[in-house]
Amino acid sequence: MVMALTDEADSLSVSDFSEVSYGVVSFSTPIVDDFGGLGGHSPSVSGHEYVVASHGNGSFYSYHLAEKIWMLLGLSPRCVGGDDQRLIYDDLSLPEFGISEGEISSSYYYRASRNVSWRMSNEYLRRYLWMRGKHGTRVFFYATSIQETQEISELLGDNGHYLANPEGGWYKLDIRRINGKTLMQLWAVVCAVTPELCAVQTAAGLTWPGIAGAMDHQRANALLEPTPIFLDDRFLERYEQNSLYQTTPFQTHGNWTCNPSYSGQWSFTDCRRVGRNLIQVGLRELYKPKPDREIVWAHAHVVPQRIVDQTDLNEEHIVAKVQRFLEVLLDLADGLAWLATDLGLGTPTCEDLVGVSREKLQAEHWLPYPKLSRLAQVAPINMSEQKFLSRCKDIHELWQKIPNGILRRIVDEGGHDPKSYKSFGSLKLLQVLTNILERLNSNQETTANFSGGHQEAEITERNSNLAPLFLTADLRNADAHTGGSVSETLTRLGFDMSHTNSGYGTALDFVLDQNIAAFNYIGAEIKALQARSP
């Protein structure tokens, strides 16, 4: 099948299109015997432009979107697949993906190597036809063996052949008996697409809470007084789940903003997080230059004022909670670095211990650490159990960067037999270290007594203050399908499972708070020892 671009929808005759039988724009390659003999060559569908550039010679075939189309519409191609490669054209200015796609090539040797199909967005195809003032006309040939019914037998008659070629010639139908089978062949030329633009929803005409009448760009730009609009933060999910967008949270003047942007082409501005799951943004900011579809997407997540009035706008949101978690990890890293230095075990940095540098945070915020942004992605109350477990895995892996070697060398200074904790990982080593710190602080001792008075219970005794870390590790294993019951683990952590009736959002809050408290406890024990040490 070939689609040609014609001037008229009517007065099309199959006899005017030789490409009907071949199914490609160009069949075989021209023979040129003289220099410059191909100077006027211009592939076409019987003088008409085409949508898919297709070529074949009976054995090998190739297909591409016509150059004029992808250049005029500003599309960008990408190729996917191994042996069965496909070309996909995207509009990266928006971005919009999969505008047009299809197989690149095929071969024929007694049978076709595969079916080839091309598709194109109706909106983009009609826009191109509208710009060129052309109709999309399908030129195609179809052949198949059919079952000979009584009606077909009557058409074939005694000579076993039926040919229909009506006046106007937009189709030609041939049915005949061949080698005991009934073969049907159809050649046709049909106007399939008219040059009419698709209706596209724009940002003009949208209504917003607290604003009388419809809003458009001009009216929004003329607003002088701040007009706050509240969005459900699930508005961000579309951008957080696609690496093409930038959604790193930033903290400015004590407020957290998360302004989705795309490759320097456009950006939301002043999207400030308030409450647990709300985003406050000025209406004028929403209408600043960006594709209308992004404004429409934001409008789909507007929260009515009556619901905002019932919401605690000071409740901690996921980004602030992750920042608190990061701060206790950095404090712990500072404490471990001091302890290692004081014990003569080297001078590790904060980045060596938890993989995060305070200097980089100060200069570039979260940009160098995408794992922080991933952990701080939208966490709705109705979060699924699987997404909750995935987030628990992220929590666990964030602090798992603490090197076992440094922890082990510190614990070695405690005077215990290294063989007794030879198989311990970082979590159990942290527990042993915490037990040692508690002994030193309870006796008001300094690091000079680090190895004095050690007790075997420090190796084996479980520290209840670190229980959330062990239980989070269990939840991490549950995500890997190797752990036990999620509800059982959360109950042991002290969480009321009735709160999960609406989802696991509150469970995630609880796990983060418990982890923060656990690391804060270890850091406080190190600070208490540091305060007494010279």
Per-residue CA distances from 473 to 211, 256, 399 (Å): 49, 29, 11
CA torsion angle 258 261 267 269 (round to 10): 10
For tokens 């409740």, the residue is: 315
Query: pLDDT (tens digit, 9 = 90+) per residue, 466-482?
Result: 999 999 998 987 755 54
Amino acid, res. 36: G
3-state secondary structure string across 70-82: HHHCCCEEEEECC
**Confidence at residue 298, expressed as pLDDT on a 0 to 100 scale:** 97
Interatomic CA distance for residues 145 and 176, integer angstroms: 10
Pairing of strands 228-232, 52-56: unpaired
In the chain the first and final C-alpha atoms are separated, in Å, by 86
3-state secondary structure string across 315-359: CCCHHHHHHHHHHHHHHHHHHHHHHHHHCCCCCCCHHHHHCCCHH
Residues listed for the chain: 534
**Confidence at residue 12, expressed as pLDDT on a 0 to 100 scale:** 81
**Confidence at residue 479, expressed as pLDDT on a 0 to 100 scale:** 57
Interatomic CA distance for residues 180 and 171, integer angstroms: 26
Interatomic CA distance for residues 533 and 416, integer angstroms: 22
Residue 510: name the closest of 484, 459, 477, 472 by CA: 472
Interatomic CA distance for residues 196 and 130, integer angstroms: 6
**Confidence at residue 10, expressed as pLDDT on a 0 to 100 scale:** 66
**Confidence at residue 18, expressed as pLDDT on a 0 to 100 scale:** 84
Tokens representing 526 are 């190190």
Give average pLDDT by consecutive 10-residue segment, the chain, 534 residues. Answer: 85 83 87 85 89 93 95 95 89 93 92 91 96 94 91 90 87 92 93 92 92 93 91 96 94 93 94 97 95 96 96 96 97 96 93 94 95 96 94 93 93 91 93 95 91 86 94 80 73 92 96 97 96 82
DSSP H helices in 222-269: 237-240
Residue 271: name the closest of 306, 239, 304 by CA: 239
Interatomic CA distance for residues 465 and 58, integer angstroms: 76
